[in-house]
A and B are shown apart, each in its own frame.
Chain A
Amino acid sequence: MSFSDETPFQINIPDEKLATLHAKLELATFPDELEDAGWKYGAPLADIKRLTEKWKSGYDWRKHEKEINQELPMFTRDIEVDGFGVLNIHYVHKKSEVVDAIPLLFCHGWPGSFLEVKKILPLLTDSSPEHPSFHAVAISLPGYGFSEAPLKQGFAAKQYAEVAHKLMLALGYSEYVTQGGDWGFMITRKMACEYGGKHHKAWHTNLPVATPPSWKSPLSFLAFLLIPWSPEEKAAIERGEWFRTKGSGYHAEQSTQPQTLGYSLADSPVGLLAWIYEKLVLWTDNYKWSDDEVLTWISLYWFSRAGPAASIRIYFELAGDRRNLGPNPTIPMGTSYFPKELVAMPAAWLCRVNKVVSESHHTTGGHFPATERPEELVQDVRKMFARGSTAFAIVPGKTGYA
C-alpha cells in the first residue's frame, strides 16, 4: 500500500447510501410519548417526527454536500500512528492571504465534526490591520467525518494527539497553535503536554477545566473551599450538577458499552438523529437550529466513513485519560467561558495550574460556540494573539499581521 500525501477531497456519498437511508426512513417506527412530556424524558416526539419526515422528503443532501465542498477546501492524507499503522485523515485547510498568518488547528469533539469550522473559517483567515489572521486546519478526528477509524484497541489521547500533531507537521506547520472544545480540549491539551514548547506554542479552549485541587494540596484545597463564587460561577456549578445527574447517560453508555449502543446508531437513522439532536438542543444556549442545519450535522454522522458507531469509542478509549489528566501543560493557555457549557470550574483555580494568558467571559452561548457564537469565539482567539498580548508572535515569524 502506498503512503498517500495530500489528496484534494470532495464529499461524494454514493447513491446507494442515500437510497438505504431513504428506505430506512420510510420504514421508521416511532415510540409513543407521555402526556406533556416536553423535554423531560428526552427529545420530544413531535420534533423527531418532523425532522424524520423532512430528512425523508424535503431535505436535499446533495445541495448541502455541494455547499460544503464549495465552502471548505478539504483534503485527505495518510498519517502513520505508532503502533496503529496508517490512517487516512480528512481535514479542512485554508490559508489566509496574510503570508505570516498563525497556523491554527481547530479540533472538534463529539457529536461535533470538521463542519463546526464553517462559520469561523472566513473570520479566522480574514486579513486586517486590526486583528491577527490564521492559517486554519480543521481535522476530522480518526473515526469521524471522512477520516478512517483505528482498527485496534487502545487508541487513546496520545494517539489522537499524535495524529493531529503529525498533520500540522505534514502541512509544513512545525510550530502552531490550537483551538478545541469537548474532546478537542482533551486532545489539544495532550498535544500541549507532548509537543508543547517546541511545536505546540499555545492552546485555546472553550471548555476550560483542570483537575480540581485535592486534599493532597491543602492550600489549594482550602482556597477551593473558601473562595466565594461569583454568580456566574455558581450558575456554572449548577449547570455542571445538572449535566452530572441528568445529562450524562450517553456518557456512561459510550464509555462502557460503545459497541452495544453502536448497533442502534448504525442501524437506525431515527435513533441516531434523536441521540445527537438531544445534545444539539440541551447543550446550546437557545440556539435556533434550522432543520437543514440539524439534518446536515447528523447526515455527516450517518454518512461518515467509519460509521457512527466508531465515533463513540473515544469515550471508552479515553476513559483512563479522563480519570487522570496527568500533568498540566506549561504553554500559554487561552480560555473562553460560555454560560451554557456543560462543565466549568472557577477561573481562579484554572489560573493556579495553567499558564492562562487570555481569558474571556460571555453572557450567552453554550457547548458549540463555533456554531452559536462564531464572532465571539474568533474575537477571543484574536485577542489572545493580538499585538500587545502575551501570546503575540508566539509562533516566531507568524504574527498574523501583514
Chain B
Amino acid sequence: MSFSDETPFQINVPEEKITTLYAKLDLATFPDELEDAGWKYGAPLADIKRLMKKWRSGYDWRRHEKDLNQELPMFTRDIEVDDFGTLNIHYVHKKSKVVDAIPLLFCHGWPGSFFEVRKILPLLIDPSPEHPSFHVVAISLPGFGFSEAPRKQGFAAKQYAEVAHKVMLSLGYNEYVTQGGDWGFLITRKMALEYGGKHHKAWHTNFPVVEPPSWKSPLAFLTYLLKPWSPEDKAGLERTEWFITRSTGYYAEQSTQPQTLGYSLADSPVGLFAWIYTGLTFWTDDYSWSDDEVLTWISIYWFSRAGPAASVRIYFEVGGDFGGFKKIGRGPSVPVGTSYFPKEIVLPPASWFRNMNNVVFESHHKSGGHFAATERPEELVQDLRNMFGKGGPAFAIVPGKTGY
C-alpha cells in the first residue's frame, strides 16, 4: 500500500447508499408517545416523523453535497499513527490571503464534525487591518466524517492528538494554534501537553471543563467552600447539574457499550437521527435549526466513511483516559483562551479552570450553547481575534505569523 500525500477530496456518496437510506425510510416504524410528552421523555414524535418524511422526500442530499464541495476545500492524506498503522484522514484546509496568517486547527467533537467550520471559515480567513487572519484546518477526527477509523483497540487521547498534530506538520505548519470544544477540547488539550511550546503555541476552547477543586489543593478547596457564587457561576452549576441528571444517558452507554448501541445507529437512520437531534436541541441555546441544516448534519453521520457506530467509540477509548471527566487534572502550561456560553452543557465556575490552567484570555457571553461555531460564529471568531490580535494576550505567539 502506498502512502498517500495530500489528495483533493470531494464528497460523493455512492448512489447505492442513498437508495438504501430511502429504502429504510420507506420502511420506517415509529413508536407511540405519551400524551403531552413534549421533550420530557426525549425527542418528540411529531418532530421525528416530520423530519423523516422530509429526509425521504424534500431534502436533497446531492444539492447539499455539492454546496459542501464548493464551500469547503477538502483533502485527504495518510497519517501514520504509532502502533496503529496508517489512517487516511479527511480535512478542510483553507489559507487566508494574508501570507502570515496564523495556522489554526479547528477540532470538533461528538456529535459534531468538520461541518461545524462552515460558518466560521470565511470569518477566520478574512483579511483586514482591524483583526488577525488565520490559515484554517478543520480535521475530521478518525472515525468521523470522511476519515478512516482506527481498527485496533486503545485509540485514545494520545492518538487523536498525534493525528491532529501530524496533519498540521504535514501541511507545513510547524507551529500552530488550536480551537476546540467537546472532544476537541480534550484532544487539543492533549496536543498542548504533548506538543506544547515547541509546536502547539496556544489553544482556545469553548468547553473549558475541569473537575471541582479537591481537598488535595487546600487553598482552592477552601475558596470553593467559602466563596459566594456569582449569578453566572450558579447558573453554570445548575446547567451542569441538569446536564448530568437529564442528558448523560448517551454518555453512559457510549462509554461502556458503544458496540451494542452501534447496531442501532448503523441500521436505523431514524434511530441515528433521533439520537443526535436530541443533543442538537438540548445542548443549544434556542438555536433555530433549519430542517436542511439538521438533515445535512446527520446525513454526514449516516454517510460517514466509517459509519456512525465508529464515532461513539471515542467515549469508551478516551473517556477512560479521564475517569469520565472526573480526573482531568492540571492543564498544560501552554497559554489557553476560554469562551463561556451560558447553554454549554458543563459549566464549572471560571475560577476553577483558571486555577488549573494558564488562562490568558477569557470571554463570557450572554447567549449560545455547546455548538458555538454554529450558534454564535461571529462571537466565537471575535474571541479568537481578540486573543490573537494586536494588543491581545497571544499576539504573535506563532513567531512571524501575526495574522496581519
Judge whether A270 and B263 touch: CB under 8 Å.
Answer: yes
Judge whether A250 and B33 touch: CB under 8 Å.
Answer: no
Bitwise, B121-163 to A at CB < 8 A (1) or not (0) is 0000000000000000000000000000111110000000000
Judged by a CB distance under 8 angstroms, whether B226 is at the interface is: no
Chain-A contact segment, one of B247-255, B347-355, B388-396? B247-255
Choice from A151, A246, A252, A275 contacting B264 with Cβ under 8 Å: A275
Chain-B contact segment, one of A41-49, A65-73, A208-216, A349-357? A41-49
Judged by a CB distance under 8 angstroms, whether A263 is at the interface is: yes
Shortest Cβ distance from B302 into A: residue: A29
Known: A32-B310, A275-B260. A267 touches B41 (CB 8 A): no
Q: From residue 310 to 347 of chain A, which have CB atoms closer than 8 A to chain B?
A: 310, 313, 316
Judged by a CB distance under 8 angstroms, whether A225 is at the interface is: no
Judged by a CB distance under 8 angstroms, whether B32 is at the interface is: yes
Choice from A36, A42, A259 contacting B37 with Cβ under 8 Å: A259
Chain-B contact segment, one of A19-27, A101-109, A167-175? A19-27
Chain A residues within 8 Å of B29, by CB: 20, 24, 266-267, 307
Judged by a CB distance under 8 angstroms, whether B24 is at the interface is: yes
Choice from A41, A44, A259, A264 contacting B270 with Cβ under 8 Å: A264
> CA A255 – CA B264 in complex, angstroms?
18
Judged by a CB distance under 8 angstroms, whether B271 is at the interface is: yes
Judge whether B35 and A153 touch: CB under 8 Å.
Answer: yes
Judged by a CB distance under 8 angstroms, whether A261 is at the interface is: yes
Known: A24-B27, A260-B43, A267-B268. A43 touches B249 (CB 8 A): no
> CA A129 – CA B149 in complex, angstroms?
65
Judge whether A249 and B254 touch: CB under 8 Å.
Answer: yes
Q: From residue 237 to 255 of chain B, which have CB atoms closer than 8 A to chain A?
A: 245-255
Q: From residue 125 to 152 of chain A, which have CB atoms closer than 8 A to chain B?
A: 149-152
Judged by a CB distance under 8 angstroms, whether A236 is at the interface is: no
Chain A residues within 8 Å of B252, by CB: 248-249, 251-253
Q: Chain B: interface residue count, which band?
A: 35 or more
Judge whether B42 and A258 touch: CB under 8 Å.
Answer: yes
Judge whether A31 and B307 touch: CB under 8 Å.
Answer: yes
Choice from B20, B27, B247, B264 contacting A264 with Cβ under 8 Å: B264
A-B CB contacts (within 8 Å), total count:
206
> CA A258 – CA B278 in complex, angstroms?
11
In terms of DSSP, what is the predominant structure of the interface of chain B?
A: helix
Chain B residues within 8 Å of A30, by CB: 263, 266-267
Judge whether A271 and B263 touch: CB under 8 Å.
Answer: yes
> CA A266 – CA B30 in complex, angstroms?
6
Judge whether A309 and B32 touch: CB under 8 Å.
Answer: yes
Chain B residues within 8 Å of A307, by CB: 29, 31-32
Judged by a CB distance under 8 angstroms, whether B257 is at the interface is: yes
Shortest Cβ distance from B149 into A: residue: A32
Judged by a CB distance under 8 angstroms, whether A358 is at the interface is: no
Chain B residues within 8 Å of A313, by CB: 34, 41
Judge whether B20 and A29 touch: CB under 8 Å.
Answer: yes
Judge whether B274 and A31 touch: CB under 8 Å.
Answer: no
Chain B residues within 8 Å of A308, by CB: 31
Judged by a CB distance under 8 angstroms, whether B382 is at the interface is: no
Chain B residues within 8 Å of A268, by CB: 263-264, 267-268, 271
Chain B residues within 8 Å of A149, by CB: 32
Known: A257-B249, A259-B43. A273 touches B263 (CB 8 A): yes
Choice from B27, B42, B256 contacting A249 with Cβ under 8 Å: B256
Judged by a CB distance under 8 angstroms, whether A35 is at the interface is: yes
Judged by a CB distance under 8 angstroms, whether B23 is at the interface is: yes
Chain B residues within 8 Å of A251, by CB: 252
Judged by a CB distance under 8 angstroms, whether A235 is at the interface is: no
Q: List 17 A-B contacts (CB under 8 A).
A: A23-B27, A24-B27, A31-B307, A32-B306, A45-B259, A153-B37, A249-B253, A259-B37, A260-B41, A260-B275, A262-B42, A263-B268, A264-B265, A265-B31, A268-B263, A278-B260, A313-B34
Residues of chain B whose beta carbon lies under 8 Å from any beta carbon of chain A = 20, 23-24, 27-37, 40-45, 48, 149-153, 245-268, 270-275, 278, 306-310, 313, 316
Lowest 4 A-B CB distances belong to which pairs?
A264-B271, A271-B264, A42-B259, A31-B309
